[in-house]
Homo-oligomer: A and B are copies of this chain.
Amino acid sequence: MASDVKTRRASAPAEGAPLEMGFLASSVGYYLKRAYLRVYDDFIVTLADLQLRPQLLSVLSLIVDNPGIIQRALARTLAIERSNIVLIIDDLVARGWVTRNPVPSDRRAYALHATPTGRQQCRIAIGRVIQHEQRMLDSLSESERRELLNVLDQIGTVEPGGIKIPRGM
């Protein structure tokens, strides 16, 4: 932790000189954000010609893998706001990648299915994402990658009181 006395510099840092990073040097939140933004930026560049953001591909891939899924199950699983999930589905329907049909047994629900084009675009995009993630994780061994996923999963499911919430909820 940054002790005000210990880590403060005596004089202004010279232009281009490395900074005293203080508490940021041991802040997991800081490194998490840097890593997330780096991966996000590279994802956008990698899939620029398909015009796919991570969230759009996550939704598409869940529809491909769970035919007939309804919007609120998608929103809950991916922690997307109700209004946002509607916009994302609208986008996928407009692209002709997804169809949305009423569920006879639940008049507020719509069942989602990927079209053949949607499935094909999803396969292409996932192939690219796998290459992009390999590039991002190039310096890690296979066991380090698994350990990273495991640790991130633990952090992503901590509740404020420290209680784990089940995956996929």
Binding site for B on A (CB under 8 A): 1-2, 4, 7-9, 11-13, 15-16, 18-24, 26-40, 42-43, 45, 54, 58, 61-62, 64-70, 73, 77, 79, 111, 119, 123, 126, 129-130, 132-133, 135-140, 144-145, 147-149, 151-158, 160, 162, 167-168
Contacts and interface: CB of A to CB of B under 8 A. Distances in A.
What are the 6 tightest A-B residue pairs by CB atom distance, in nearest-first order?
Answer: A12-B68, A34-B156, A22-B65, A31-B152, A35-B155, A36-B36
B12 A157 contact: no
Given A28-B149, A38-B157, A39-B29, A19 B62 contact: yes
Contact of A133 (B4, B29, B139): B29
5 contacts: A28-B145, A28-B152, A34-B156, A136-B158, A139-B154
A148 to B, nearest CB: 5
A131 to B, nearest CB: 11
Given A15-B73, A135-B160, A168-B19, A152 B7 contact: no
